[in-house]
Amino acid sequence: MPRELACRKCKALTTGKVCPVCNSTDLTTKWSGLIIVLDPEKSQIAKILNLKASGRYAVEVS
Ligand SMILES: [Zn+2]
């Protein structure tokens, strides 16, 4: 499984070179934790972390 990159701006994970959520190219391999948001409207975690779109996110990005 290829190591995914985490966006430094919104913490979304991607295997590409551009963040699929905010289109940032400021990505890093240095992240930990994994959150999968299926429905940001109903997810408490998404609210706490202020995630607006469904997808996979890192908990911590350095
Ligand atoms: Zn992003």
19 Cα: distance to centroid of ligand 1 (angstroms): 5
| Number of compact structural domains in the chain | 1
Q: Which residues contact 55 (CB under 8 A, 6 or more apart)?
A: 12, 13, 20, 21, 36, 37
For the full predicted model, state whether its pTM sits above 0.75: yes
Among 2, 44, 24, smallest CA distance to 12 is for 24
CA of 22 to the centre of ligand 1 (A): 4
- CATH code of 44's domain: 2.20.28.90
Given pLDDT bands bounded at 50, 70 and 90, which one contains residue 61? very high
- State which residues form the domain around 14: 5-61
Query: How many other CB atoms are found less than 10 A from the CB of residue 46?
Result: 20
Distance (Å) from CA 36 to ligand 1 centroid = 15
List pLDDT tens digits, range 2-59: 689 999 999 999 999 999 999 999 999 999 999 999 999 999 989 988 888 999 999 9
46 Cα: distance to centroid of ligand 1 (angstroms):
14
